[in-house]
Amino acid sequence: MGEIASLNETVNLSSWSGSADNNSSLELQSQMPRQSVDPWDVMLCISGTIIACENALVVVIILNSPALRTPMFLLIGSLATADLLAGLGLVMNFFFHYLIHSEVINLLTVGFLVGSFSASVNSLLAITIDRYLSLYNALSYYSERTIAYIHKMLAVVWGVSICLGLLPILGWNCLSDLSTCSIVKPLTKGNLAVLAISFLVNFVIMLHLYIKICKIVCRHAHQIALQQHFFGTSYSMTTKKSVSTLAIIVGTFGTSWLPFAIYCLVGDQGYPSVYTYATLLPATYNSMINPIIYAFKNQEIQKASWLLFCGCFQSNSSFHSRSPSEV
């Protein structure tokens, strides 16, 4: 009997100690700090939301306007689609990072962002090439250019971009070897260097082509002035407009992406993450400014947007003006 009593006391003591351990573990869990939201991530999410809304509007306008089916607007639509996906990727990356703690999901969102931003940069290059060829072969280019030609250009743009986005997903990442991680985890240093170099090459090509475009426009304006025997305000205004347009396009693109591209080449994972955010956030502003430069300043898109919104308002007003019997 004494052994049984001692055994019962031992069981009771062990159960009490187990419950005490559980209570202490619950207290420790309650005292553990929750993952705080980084203000930089919030700013990236806000930037992504603005980018998505702006470019979604451009895509809707182009899709709902039969007059905007020309090759130039196909390229602008490609740029808007790429920026739209990039904006959605920034928003998804924010929510997945704080709601779903998974390396696989993080890898997928990073690959999605790489492909989207690559498509945006490559679409800008395609627009630059299209503008240059339309001026260089002004007499024959429009007759030779077809929708099939633009489709081939877009296939190259999106094919290259999708491949760049799939590289980290298919295995070129640092999840198996953290020592190879770059400033943008889970991209490796080599992968990020390839992306940075490809951007720098695109930037140099765009700068070279836009300088040529500026020279062609100035030469054409000079020839027109010679024919009209007038070198006054019109010639100087055309020259200033060409130079200012060149400065806005290349300046915006370079100012947005150059700091991040250079930091991708010289930065290291041991550096504070604030440097990465401080260079990445301005890079997203390029996708925010693209709709203003390439879409909203275009007179045909402005007309199409007015027709679209006026048509919506007229249809709503006509619906509300109907009598109950007509409805």
pLDDT tens for residues 25-84? 434 344 434 568 889 999 999 999 999 999 999 999 999 888 888 888 999 999 999 999
Alpha carbon 72 to its chain centroid, in Å, reads: 20
Reported confidence tier of residue 279, pLDDT bands at 50, 70, 90: very high
Q: 283-317 pLDDT, tens per residue?
A: 999 999 999 999 888 888 888 888 877 765 555 54
Q: Is the predicted pLDDT of residue 320 greater than 80, yes or no? A: no
Q: How far apart are CA 267 and CA 74, in angstroms?
A: 37
Q: 210-237 pLDDT, tens per residue?
A: 988 888 887 777 666 666 655 555 555 6
Q: Which residues are CB-contacts of 304 (< 8 A; sequence separation ≥ 6)?
A: 61, 62, 64, 65, 67, 68
Q: 179-205 pLDDT, tens per residue?
A: 888 998 889 999 999 999 999 999 999
pLDDT of residue 236: 58
Q: How far apart are CA 254 and CA 264, in angstroms?
A: 15
Confirm whether pTM is higher than 0.95.
no
Reported confidence tier of residue 21, pLDDT bands at 50, 70, 90: very low
Region 5-19 average pLDDT = 43
pLDDT of residue 318: 47
Q: 144-172 pLDDT, tens per residue?
A: 667 778 889 999 999 999 999 999 999 89
CA proximity to 218, closest of 239, 236, 237: 239
pLDDT of residue 238: 57
Q: 96-111 pLDDT, tens per residue?
A: 988 887 888 989 999 9
CA proximity to 116, closest of 153, 91, 87: 87
φ, ψ of residue 173 in degrees (nearest 5): -145, 175
Reported confidence tier of residue 281, pLDDT bands at 50, 70, 90: very high
Alpha carbon 228 to its chain centroid, in Å, reads: 46
pLDDT of residue 187: 92
pLDDT of residue 82: 97
Reported confidence tier of residue 135, pLDDT bands at 50, 70, 90: confident
Q: How far apart are CA 57 and CA 299, in angstroms?
A: 16
pLDDT of residue 310: 75
Q: How far apart are CA 82 and CA 118, in angstroms?
A: 8
Q: Which residues are CB-contacts of 58 (< 8 A; sequence separation ≥ 6)?
A: 76, 77, 80, 291, 295, 296, 301
3-state SS assignment for residue 326? coil
Residue 253 is encoded by which pair of tokens? 């693109």
Residue 71 is encoded by which pair of tokens? 């090759």
Domains along the chain?
Answer: 36-299 (1.20.1070.10)
Q: How far apart are CA 109 and CA 43, in angstroms?
A: 17
pLDDT of residue 8: 46
Residue 271 is encoded by which pair of tokens? 């550096």
User: H-type helices in the chain, by residue range?
Assistant: 2-31, 39-63, 71-99, 103-136, 141-144, 147-169, 189-228, 233-266, 273-290, 299-321
Q: Is the peptide bond before 186 cis (omega within 30 degrees of 0)?
A: yes
Residue 160 is encoded by which pair of tokens? 């290259």
Alpha carbon 208 to its chain centroid, in Å, reads: 23
Q: How far apart are CA 174 and CA 235, in angstroms?
A: 56
Of residues 202 and 246, more confidently modeled: 202
pLDDT of residue 136: 79
pLDDT of residue 290: 94
pLDDT of residue 226: 65
